[in-house]
Amino acid sequence: MGPTPAWRPTVLVVDDVGDNRELVCAILRHAEFRVVQAETGAEALSQALGIPDLIVLDVMLPDIDGLEVCRRLKADPRTAAIPLMHLSGMYRDPLAKARALDSGADAYLTKPVEPAELVATIRALLRARRAEAELRAVFEGALDGMVITDDAGRYVEVNEAAARIFGVPRERLVGRMVSEFTPLPFDFDAAWASFRARGSEQGEITLVRPDGGRRVVEYAATARITPGRHLSILRDVTDRKRAEVALQRHVQIIDQINDAVVVTTLRGTITAWNRGAERLFGYPLAEALGRHVSFLHVDAQPAREDLVREVANVGRHEVEVRCRCRSGEEIWIHVSRSLLSDPGGAPLGVISYSIDITEQRRMLDALRASEARAHQLAQRLQTVQEEERRRLAAEVHDELGQALTGIKLGVSLLGAREGADAARAASTLALIDDTIARVRRIASELRPSVLTLGLDTALEWQVDELRARTGLRCGLSGTLARALDGERSLALFRVCQETLTNVVRHAGARSVAVRLDDDGEVVTLTIRDDGIGIDPLAAARGRSFGILGMSERLRALDGVLEVARAPGGGTIVRARLPRGDH
């Protein structure tokens, strides 16, 4: 893309003498102007509707006098703003020039004219027109009200923003006196004369609208921006003033609150600071006002824009923050923030209520430390318990099992003899066999060797053993995606073992379903019975030591235990355990 081409203004040249017209056109083309031509007044009026940037108009035309053409162009709203310059070879006297300028022309040159003077005059008129257009755009587009008055104090021009402030359409505001909108008693004549004498003034005034409504307006006025014209810039601050009054009343109220109350702007500058804040943070009002609230914070806080947005979205924002007092002491406070808005709902600031929770935080930290130590102790006890179970299982299986086997062998030898002792020996052998079976079961419960074959196999053994021992309908479904490490396998096995024991002892169930699910990330063991169901309050409060033990066992491995009454009756126990092998 090449450079933006320079602006080339278009000039309409009107002259009935061809040689004169061509000469002017040649001069303008040489100066890089675009040129449009017309020979008559009627043609000039038609060509002007194309809105050229400037018109060069001869006074003597064959159909319509050039002065009349000028008057018609200036009377038409479509062409009134086009700069117009008369160029005449007939009327050279000052009176003729004055008549031409009175007709609305912006400049008057006589023929023959120097090319440099012609070009310079046209460029000066174009600069003036551009500056006027820019000022007009500012005037019309300003958010503040802008009014221009004459020497008598009459509005001669107003923008839309001013019309909104006065509550009057702009076409009805033009022509009215400033004094019509000032409250009585008010010596307007004296005030207006004082303003014109000083040359400028700014302040605050109350305007009275035609409907009786009052608006508080800040103004900045400048006298004689052009001869006989005075400019005033107005800003309606009524809502802001009402909000300030309401805020001041609010401040007086919050000063009686014992909690620390701090009011800030949306950007975080402190505008109100009650006695409670002085007591909590140690800073007197004079030292806090005007400072950014972040000077209190020990830790970095979210961006102010994000905080205000969150407060606006949720209505109230509560957080715990660490602050540094004037004494240097660090405290924890609970802060509740709300948005302050003007009557129209526009946000003005943030109000914060703070209370000291340092002691509560210390107690909570101590409680958490105590809980952490309790969890560590529980984990250690479980480790010791498993080690003791392993040792007892080995002793029961090896030593007691061997001793019983030896006794069985001896009794078998005695039973081989004939006589009365043979029947007694057979009975004793049956008792020994039962005892050996019990010893093996106890050893398996203490430390199931079947776990070495995997959790799936161990759970299947446990379900089969429960079915054989109690007669309950008990089934196992699901399987592992891949082998689980020993520690996690043991944890889930113990959960199943404890749960099934509870079912037998307390549930009054007729059937139990055990399911094992594995999504590759988390292994889930679910046990559901059709018994009387667990007490929801007991489950929620974790009153059962069995539930507590299972929960702590899983927690040590980042797992979770859920116990709940099943829909339709019975209890559901669900253990979720991350694999931990990624």
Of 451-460, 485-494, 528-537, the least confident: 528-537
As a whole number of angstroms, the distance between CA 286 and CA 271 comes to 11
Question: Is there a single domain that holds both residue 248 and residue 230?
Answer: no
By DSSP bridging, strand 260-265 and strand 270-273 are antiparallel
Burial of 448 (0-12, 13-18, 19+ CB in 10 A): buried
Cα–Cα distance for residue pair 131/186, rounded to 1 Å? 38
d(CA 300, CA 283): 21
Spatial separation of the C-alpha atoms in residues 457 and 489, rounded to whole Å: 11
We report the CATH number of the domain holding residue 158 as 3.30.450.20
Quick check: 5 pLDDT over 60?
Answer: no
**Would you state the pLDDT for residue 33?**
95
pLDDT > 90: percent of the chain: 44
Average pLDDT over residues 65-69: 92
- Asked whether residue 212 falls in the same domain as residue 244, the answer is no
- pLDDT score recorded for residue 93: 77
Say which residues have a Cβ less than 8 Å from residue 503's Cβ, sequence separation at least 6: 472, 509, 512, 527, 529, 531, 571
Residue 498 has what pLDDT? 87
Which H/E stretch holds residue 156? Answer: strand 155-158
- Does 156 lie in the same domain as 95? no
Asked if the model's pLDDT at residue 299 lies above 70, the reply is: yes
Identity of the amino acid at 484: L
Per DSSP, helices labelled H in 49-201 are 66-75, 94-102, 115-141, 160-166, 170-173, 188-198
Sheet strands (E) in 251-370: 260-265, 270-273, 316-324, 330-341, 347-356
Where are the extended beta strands (E) located within 372-470? none
Local confidence band at 34 (pLDDT 50, 70, 90 cut-offs)? very high
Task: Please identify, among 208, 236, 264, the residue that sits at the C-terminal boundary of a domain.
Answer: 236
β pairing state of 473-478 and 511-518: parallel
pLDDT at 2 over 50: no
> CA angle at residue 138 from 134 to 143, to 5 degrees?
170
Give the single-character DSSP code of 383: H
Domain that holds residue 538: 451-578
Instruction: Tell me how far apart the alpha carbons of residues 186 and 177 are, in angstroms, rounded to a whole number.
Output: 14
Together in a domain, 554 and 543: yes
Residue 149: what residue type?
T
Q: Please answer whether residues 158 and 147 qualify as being in contact, where contact means their C-beta atoms are separated by less than 8 angstroms.
A: yes
What confidence category does residue 45 fall into, taking pLDDT thresholds of 50, 70 and 90?
very high
The whole-number average pLDDT for the span 66-82 is 93
151 shares a domain with 107: no
Q: Which of 79, 106, 139 is the last residue of a domain?
A: 139
**Is residue 381 predicted with pLDDT exceeding 70?**
no
For residue 123, what pLDDT band results from cuts at 50, 70 and 90?
Answer: very high
Cα–Cα distances in Å, from 119 out to 34, 84, 125, 469?
Answer: 13, 14, 10, 118
pLDDT at 494 > cutoff 90: no
Confidence of residue 92 (pLDDT cuts 50, 70, 90): confident
Whether 359 has a pLDDT exceeding 60, the answer reads yes
Both 180 and 89 in one domain: the answer is no
Q: Which CATH number covers residue 102?
A: 3.40.50.2300
Q: Which residues neighbour 420 within 8 Å (Cβ) at sequence distance 6 or greater?
A: none
Unique residue bearing structure tokens 């052009």: 226
496 and 402 share a domain? no
Handedness of CA 14, 16, 21, 22 (dihedral sign): positive
Please, what is the average pLDDT of the chain?
84
Residues 266 and 225 in one domain: no
**How many separate domains does the chain show?**
5
The domain boundary, picked from 204, 236, 268, lies at 236
Per-residue confidence (pLDDT) for residue 308, from 0 to 100: 82
* pLDDT value at 1 more than 50: no
Beta strands at 54-57 and 84-88: parallel, antiparallel or unpaired: parallel
**Residue 383: both structure tokens together:** 């480790």
Backbone phi, psi, residue 263, to 5°: -110, 130
Q: Residue 582 pLDDT more than 80?
A: no
Tell me the pLDDT band of 73, cut-offs 50, 70 and 90.
very high
What six digits make up the tokens of 252?
A: 């007086």
**Placement of tokens 């606006």 in the chain:** 312
pLDDT for res 133: 86
Rounded Cα–Cα distance for residues 48 and 210 (Å): 42
pLDDT digits (tens, 9 = 90+) for 410-437: 666 555 555 556 666 666 667 666 666 6
- Tell me if 443 is assigned to some domain: no
Distance of CA 371 to the CA centre of its chain: 37
Distances, alpha carbon 24 to alpha carbons 106, 206, 348, in Å:
18, 57, 63
pLDDT tier for residue 4 given thresholds of 50, 70 and 90: very low
CATH of the domain at 496: 3.30.565.10
- Check residue 487 and give its pLDDT: 85
pLDDT at 392 over 70: no
Report d(CA 102, CA 400) in Å as an integer: 133
Number of Cβ within 10 Å of residue 55's Cβ equals 26
pLDDT of residue 3: 46
Q: Is the pLDDT of residue 544 over 70?
A: no
**Is the residue at 439 inside a domain?**
no
- Does pLDDT of 543 surpass 60? no
For residue 29, the tally of other CB atoms under 10 A from its CB is 12
Mean pLDDT to the nearest integer, 438-449 = 60
CA distance 93 to 97: 7
Q: Predicted confidence band at 508 (pLDDT cuts at 50, 70, 90)? A: confident
Task: Quote the tokens at residue 514.
Answer: 């055990």
1 falls within a domain: no
Task: Verify that 313 and 248 share a domain, yes or no.
Answer: yes
How wide is the angle at C-alpha 264 spanned by C-alphas 262 and 268, nearest 5°? 125
Q: Do 403 and 501 share a domain, yes or no?
A: no
Q: What is the pLDDT of residue 542?
A: 47
What does the pLDDT average to over 176-205?
A: 89
In a domain, 282, yes or no: yes
